[in-house]
């Protein structure tokens, strides 16, 4: 049978490939981003209570109201910005579904979508499946900063969406207030929608701040913010997230969402809502992950890998140019097979022709795992 693929050049995501290779070779898996420690027993108890208390049928299409109220409270508390639970917040099956549904709801054939490379890998296929044209702009290395003059030249009447992601996966950089103001200025008086992927909002280190799109009034008017409970609750397998946007945008989103998943896992939504009534559950995350980043970086400070400490997320990029000339995709495989440590090559987040010698390591791991991983890296 002839199959007319909608994504002829797309293979299996690097996260699946590297995790499978790590398992096959019994390697420490610092590739795919997920914690290897257990999450809160209180949270598990609250989810279990929700099941016992009958939250087992379809949740409302827009999400459990208690959870939407908890999210409204969070944005008021952290960003002094109100999203109405009734019509400006929707609970989704992870940030991935929110991202896919936002793109499906707004991108028509031949609409252009600006995104920044290296980019998280689910953006571009979603644009293409919906007939849109990705316009990839490269962040300037080694700091992974946006060239705003370049962005200005690429914004045309065809630009329908700009996708941003801070704190940034895979590089661990955090956008400044000036970056956000520049984006606000360049999109002012346009109909461009901004998809601001903020799944790592609670993981920002040192004296940096997360500048959410909702902080900037004109940006907020055109923005969807996407978030993931997989990150904030250390439970990536639960696949629950949400998105926020002004009512007019959210109304369009829900037209697609209702036929995409309709609604998501009800008892977990209720359990998460109860858990979030204590804001420390998300406010303590930066300190928690900073300790892990610092432990890992102190332990490898004498190794031959070079690095700038990650500013946010739970990823650290290491430069191996002192060690070998191999391409990152090949070196990542060899490290997994021979040295028993798995990472993610950064070139896959570009167009794969990139020759930078950089790998991404996930430090959302037990201290014991980080110590073992560092021992391996120091011997290389």
Interface residue list for ligand PMP (CB under 6 A) = 33, 94-96, 120, 165, 169, 197, 199, 228, 230, 236, 241
Nearest one of 98, 91, 97 to 267, comparing CA atoms: 91
Residue 46 sits at φ, ψ, to 5 deg, of -70, -35
Shortest approach of ligand PMP to residue 53 CB, angstroms?
25
Q: Which does 43 bind (CB under 5 to 8 A by kind): ligand PMP, ligand GLN, none?
A: none
Comparison of 37 and 247: residue with beta carbon closer to ligand PMP: 37
Angle at CA of residue 211, ends 159 and 134, nearest 5°:
25
Tell me whether strands 133-138 and 159-165 are parallel, antiparallel or unpaired: unpaired
To the nearest 5 percent, what fractions of the chain are helix, strand and coil? Answer: 45, 15, 40
CA dist., res. 287 & res. 328, Å (int): 31
Q: Which does 94 bind (CB under 5 to 8 A by kind): ligand PMP, ligand GLN, none?
A: ligand PMP
Comparison of 15 and 307: residue with beta carbon closer to ligand GLN: 15
CA distances in angstroms from 195 to 28, 102, 189, 298, listed in the order given: 34, 8, 17, 35
Q: Which does 171 bind (CB under 5 to 8 A by kind): ligand GLN, ligand PMP, none?
A: none
Tell me the residue nearest to ligand GLN as measured from the CB: 33
Comparison of 27 and 98: residue with beta carbon closer to ligand PMP: 98
Q: Which does 232 bind (CB under 5 to 8 A by kind): ligand GLN, ligand PMP, none?
A: none
Comparison of 11 and 217: residue with beta carbon closer to ligand GLN: 11
Comparison of 216 and 238: residue with beta carbon closer to ligand GLN: 238
First to last CA, the chain: 49
Shortest approach of ligand GLN to residue 309 CB, angstroms?
19
Q: Calculate Rg over the CA atoms of the chain.
A: 21
Q: Which does 15 bind (CB under 5 to 8 A by kind): ligand PMP, ligand GLN, none?
A: ligand GLN
Comparison of 50 and 95: residue with beta carbon closer to ligand GLN: 95
Q: Which does 32 bind (CB under 5 to 8 A by kind): ligand PMP, ligand GLN, none?
A: ligand GLN
Nearest one of 158, 153, 150 to 134, comparing CA atoms: 158
Shortest approach of ligand PMP to residue 302 CB, angstroms?
30
Residue 36 sits at φ, ψ, to 5 deg, of -115, 25
Shortest approach of ligand GLN to residue 15 CB, angstroms?
3
Q: Which does 228 bind (CB under 5 to 8 A by kind): ligand PMP, ligand GLN, none?
A: ligand PMP
Residue 3's Cβ-count burial label (10 Å; 0-12, 13-18, 19+) is exposed
Shortest approach of ligand PMP to residue 121 CB, angstroms?
9
CA dist., res. 365 & res. 355, Å (int): 28
Tell me the residue nearest to ligand PMP as measured from the CB: 94
Please report, as ranges, the residues that interact with ligand GLN according to CB under 6 A.
13, 15, 32-33, 169
Comparison of 13 and 49: residue with beta carbon closer to ligand GLN: 13
Which own/partner contact pairs does 299-302 have at CB distance under 8 Å and 24+ positions apart? Answer: 299/370, 299/371, 299/374, 299/375, 299/378, 300/374, 300/377, 300/378, 302/378
């Amino acid at each position: 049978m002839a199959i007319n693929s909608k994504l002829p050049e797309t293979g299996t995501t690097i996260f699946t490939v590297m995790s499978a290779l790590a398992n096959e070779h019994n390697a420490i898996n610092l590739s795919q981003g997920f914690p290897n420690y257990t999450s809160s027993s209180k949270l598990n108890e609250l989810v279990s209570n929700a099941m016992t208390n009958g939250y087992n049928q379809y949740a409302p299409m827009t999400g459990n109201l208690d959870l939407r109220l908890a999210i409204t409270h969070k944005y008021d508390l952290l960003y002094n910005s109100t999203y109405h639970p009734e019509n400006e917040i929707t609970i989704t099956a992870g940030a991935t579904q929110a991202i896919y549904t936002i793109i499906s709801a707004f991108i028509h054939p031949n609409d252009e979508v600006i995104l920044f490379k290296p980019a998280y890998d689910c953006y571009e296929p979603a644009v293409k499946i919906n007939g849109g044209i990705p316009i990839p702009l490269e962040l300037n290395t080694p700091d992974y900063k946006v060239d705003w003059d370049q962005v200005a030249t690429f914004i045309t009447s065809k630009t329908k969406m700009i996708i941003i992601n801070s704190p940034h996966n895979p590089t661990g950089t955090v956008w400044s207030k000036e970056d956000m103001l520049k984006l606000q200025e360049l999109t002012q008086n346009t109909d461009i929608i901004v998809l601001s992927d903020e799944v790592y909002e609670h993981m920002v280190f040192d004296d940096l701040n997360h500048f959410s799109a909702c902080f900037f009034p004109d940006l907020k008017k055109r923005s969807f913010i996407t978030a993931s409970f997989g990150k904030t609750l250390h439970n990536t397998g639960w696949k629950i997230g949400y998105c926020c946007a002004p009512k007019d945008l959210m109304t369009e989103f829900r037209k697609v969402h209702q036929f995409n998943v309709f609604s998501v896992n009800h008892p977990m939504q209720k359990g998460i809502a109860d858990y979030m009534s204590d804001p420390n559950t998300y406010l303590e995350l930066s300190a928690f992950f900073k300790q892990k980043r610092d432990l890992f970086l102190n332990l490898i400070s004498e190794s031959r890998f070079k690095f700038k400490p990650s500013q946010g997320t739970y990823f650290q990029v290491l430069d191996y140019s002192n060690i070998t000339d191999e391409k990152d995709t090949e070196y990542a495989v060899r490290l997994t097979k021979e040295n028993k440590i798995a990472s993610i090559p950064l070139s896959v987040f570009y167009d794969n022709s990139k020759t930078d010698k950089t790998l991404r390591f996930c430090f959302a791991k037990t201290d014991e795992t980080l110590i073992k991983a560092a021992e391996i890296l120091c011997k290389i």
